[in-house]
Amino acid sequence: MTQSFTVAIDGPAAAGKGTISKAVAAHFGFAHLDTGLLYRAVGRRTLDGVDAIEAAQALTAEELELGDLRTAEIAQAASKVAVIPEVRAALVDFQRAFARRAGGAVLDGRDIGTVICPHAEVKLFVTASPEVRAERRFLELLAKGAEVTRAQVLADVRERDARDADRSTAPMKPAEDAVLLDTSDLSIEEALGKAIALVTAQRPTGL
């Protein structure tokens, strides 16, 4: 299997893109990269006092596997380093190489369909209302034992949305040719069914 095939899945935090991306990759046997982890790993280094640009330039794949990167503190740090153009530039090659690997790849993030893989064969922009996303993230954090309130999580979601969408380099937005998937009123199964149908329709024979 030597053919590449890229599925770009973008959208704001807690819209369901991580769940959908993982499940799409598993369904088709494609590789999956959660690109938010790259920014989170850089953000975590800055919390230890390391310069963001240096951390991005020195980032290794092993760092993505170390410890829990999915905390609220690291999410905010990630969103802050993601504003820096040199940080984004340092992470481009790794993401593009991943996208073109043989056998198919799913990448999820904020700028995959617009900047990293503008020629991706499938582009999906997964969204949901801020309230629905905050409630999902709140339940996730509670399950992990975090001490947070609904109001705090909603404020965090709104703050991160604003920073991710308003930055001048690679802001979060749907590519012009992306299919929009609003998961506010959909179950996971329904959202996944739509994503799988879309990929099935574009998938080349033999992959």
Which residue ranges make up the site for ligand DC (CB under 6 A)?
13, 35-36, 39-40, 75, 78-79, 82, 109-112, 160, 164
- 99 or 192: whose CB is closer to ligand DC? 99
| Cα–Cα distance measured from residue 174 to residue 113, given in angstroms and rounded to the nearest whole number | 7
Nearer to ligand DC, 105 or 112 (CB): 112
The CA distance from 98 to 105, in Å, is 7
Q: How far is the CB of 120 from ligand DC (least distance, A)?
A: 13
Identify whether the C-beta of residue 34 lies closer than 8 Å to the C-beta of residue 45.
no
Closest approach of ligand DC to the CB of residue 60, in Å: 18
Minimum distance from CB of 36 to ligand DC (Å)?
Answer: 2
Q: In terms of CB distance, is 3 or 188 closer to ligand DC?
A: 188
Distance of closest approach, residue 205 Cβ to ligand DC, in angstroms:
30
Cα separations in angstroms, 180 against 72, 89, 129: 26, 27, 13
Q: Which residue has the tokens 């919390």?
A: 47
Write out the two tokens for 117: 């893989």
The nearer residue to ligand DC, 173 or 194, going by C-beta atoms, is 173
Q: Which is nearer to ligand DC, 29 or 162 (CB)?
A: 162
Residue 108 · residue 36 · CB < 8 Å: yes
**CB of residue 183 to ligand DC, shortest distance in Å:** 15
What is the DSSP code string of 169-180?
SS-S---TTPEE
What type of residue sits at position 88? R
